[in-house]
């Protein structure tokens, strides 16, 4: 058990905390940290991109629970050295994400700090939350898009190499419309923030199932984090419906496994930079 899990286990309602957000009475509450030298280095992105990404990784949590984000609170620790222009750039990033997803920034706190540390709380609404514990034996497992590029880009950054401004590592792309449309036809979902293999471990634990892979998935693909693609499960009878919706939204589907009796564990190491 890692430190994070250990700490979380100190609180009673593990089930709720284990999901991307907590669903209570029609609302989903989620909160994620986005800290300098933990999640990003300031050389890697400009301030607008950093603020934008800090919002997007949180909004992603809401979407994969089938919730529509409505409000955000921001805790922003700002280096004393930042200029007024820096603050405007930061606020532009927050506002861009808020506007894109129809979110109102309703409050928060700003303080002076050694480095830029952001925590974002998102309040979302849903009448039909989707959890991690809904995978049924026989369900098909699918992830969207292409995995691997975020890890490759992170490795470039760690070697002080340049990456494309369009890299998902800098600007994750969420697909809320696709997700909301498939939501009636799926049984469980989560976003891929730490890497497919690690998310599958969580899904296995939450739903008490194992997975039979249809093909081998390379480590470079399975351990690529910060992808913000969607991992979901569904009953085979809904395959055609989901394929049709994916085609409409131009989303690539990768149906890679079937849920079986058992338990899934990966031997790969989950290494943050």
Residues that bind a second copy (CB under 8 A): 3-4, 6-8, 10-13, 16-17, 21-22, 24, 29-33, 35, 37-39, 71, 73-78, 82, 84, 87-88, 90-91, 94-95, 104-114, 117, 119, 121, 123, 272
**CB of residue 102 to a second copy, shortest distance in Å:** 13
Least distance CB 6 / a second copy (angstroms): 6
User: Is 155 marked as binding a ligand?
Assistant: no
- Strand order of the β-sheet with 117-125 is 22-24, 27-35, 117-125, 68-79, 104-113
| Cα dihedral 164/166/169/175 (nearest 10) | -160
Instruction: Choose between 114 and 236: whose C-beta lies nearer to a second copy.
Output: 114
Closest distance of CB 30 from a second copy, Å: 6
Residue 108 assigned as binding residue: yes
Distances (CA, A) of 85 to 47, 107, 134, 219, 220: 10, 21, 47, 42, 39
Q: Are the CB atoms for 53 and 12 separated by under 8 Å?
A: no
For residue 30, list its beta bridge partners.
122
204 annotated among ligand-binding-site residues? no
The response to whether 30 counts as a known ligand-binding position is yes
The answer to whether 35 and 117 have CB atoms below 8 angstroms apart is yes
Of 95 and 156, nearer to a second copy (C-beta) is 95
Nearer to a second copy, 68 or 241 (CB): 68
The reply to whether 20 sits in an annotated binding site is: yes
Measured between alpha carbons, how far is 191 from 59 in angstroms, rounded to an integer? 10
Binding residues for substrate, as ranges, are 39, 226
């Amino acid at each position: 058990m890692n430190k994070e899990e250990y700490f979380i286990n100190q609180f009673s309602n593990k089930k709720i905390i284990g999901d991307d957000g907590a669903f209570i009475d029609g609302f989903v509450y989620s909160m994620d940290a986005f800290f300098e030298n933990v999640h990003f280095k300031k050389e890697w992105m400009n301030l607008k991109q950093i603020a934008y990404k800090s919002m997007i990784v949180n909004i992603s949590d809401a979407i994969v629970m089938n919730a529509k984000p409505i409000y955000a609170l921001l805790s922003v620790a700002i280096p004393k050295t930042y200029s007024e222009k820096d603050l405007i750039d930061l606020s532009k990033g927050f506002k861009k994400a808020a506007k894109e997803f129809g979110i109102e920034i309703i409050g928060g706190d700003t303080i002076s700090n050694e480095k830029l540390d952001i925590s974002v709380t998102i309040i979302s609404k849903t009448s039909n939350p989707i959890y991690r514990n809904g995978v049924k034996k026989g369900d098909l497992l699918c992830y969207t898009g292409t995995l691997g590029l975020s890890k490759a880009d992170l490795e470039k950054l760690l070697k002080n190499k340049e990456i494309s401004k369009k890299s998902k590592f800098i600007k994750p792309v969420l697909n809320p419309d696709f997700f909301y449309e498939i939501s009636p036809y799926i049984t469980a979902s989560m976003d891929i923030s730490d890497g497919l293999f690690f998310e599958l471990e969580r899904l296995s634990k939450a739903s008490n199932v194992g997975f039979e892979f249809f093909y081998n998935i390379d480590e470079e693909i399975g351990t690529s984090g910060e992808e913000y693609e969607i991992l979901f499960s569904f009953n085979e009878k809904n395959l055609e419906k989901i394929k049709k919706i994916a085609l409409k939204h131009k989303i690539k589907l990768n149906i890679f496994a079937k849920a079986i009796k058992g338990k899934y564990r990966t031997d790969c190491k989950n290494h943050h930079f």
